[in-house]
Amino acid sequence: MLSFDGVNDSVDLPIGSLLSTLSSSTVAAWVYFTNTGNAWQRVFDFGTGTTAYMFLTSNNGSRIVRFAIRSTAVGEQIVNGPAALTTGWHHVAIVIDSATMRLQLYQDGTLAASGATTVLPKDMGVTNQNWLGRSQWTADPFFGGSVDEFRIYNRALSESEVRYLAGDR
């Protein structure tokens, strides 16, 4: 488990060119959210700056989870959770499905939101700023909370696979 103080903690993931090889993908983790968290703090943010990235924030300014992805050629594609998550542990998964060109946001094993996308991880190219707890934007706060069982899959997991990761056994 990783604990972040919200001041200056982050993890630099050594994933190199991994994202540039992914069409479909799933990113999943157990995350301890706090209702007092600052807006735009990142659970993860992978990219090369503010024009090519994919991120998950625990608070989009309205205390709602948001996933976004963009490339240098295509603007931001967004999926927002339906409501604020309560303080405590929650399982969150982002499924990017290249067959259907859909983004899916799961919260605690349940599909919470979905939307169309024209951007896939491979469209970002090789990323060199692949962080847990830190944003591509220097003005954004660091993440305050904990992350456990952080996983990146090279395919779109099914709903039952996401439920299994969230503890539905």
C-alpha–C-alpha distance, residues 4 and 134, integer Å: 10
- pLDDT, one tens digit per residue, over 95-130 is 999 999 999 999 999 999 999 999 999 999 999 999
- What is the β-pairing status of strands 88-97 and 25-33? antiparallel
Per-residue pLDDT tens over the stretch 126-158: 999 999 999 999 999 999 999 999 999 999 999
Take residue 165 and report the two structure tokens written for it: 């990761």
Domains of the chain with CATH codes: 2-165 (2.60.120.200)
Please, which pLDDT band fits residue 35 given cuts at 50, 70 and 90? Answer: low
H or E stretch including 55? strand 52-57
Amino acid at 127: T
Please say whether the beta carbons of 61 and 141 come within 8 A. no
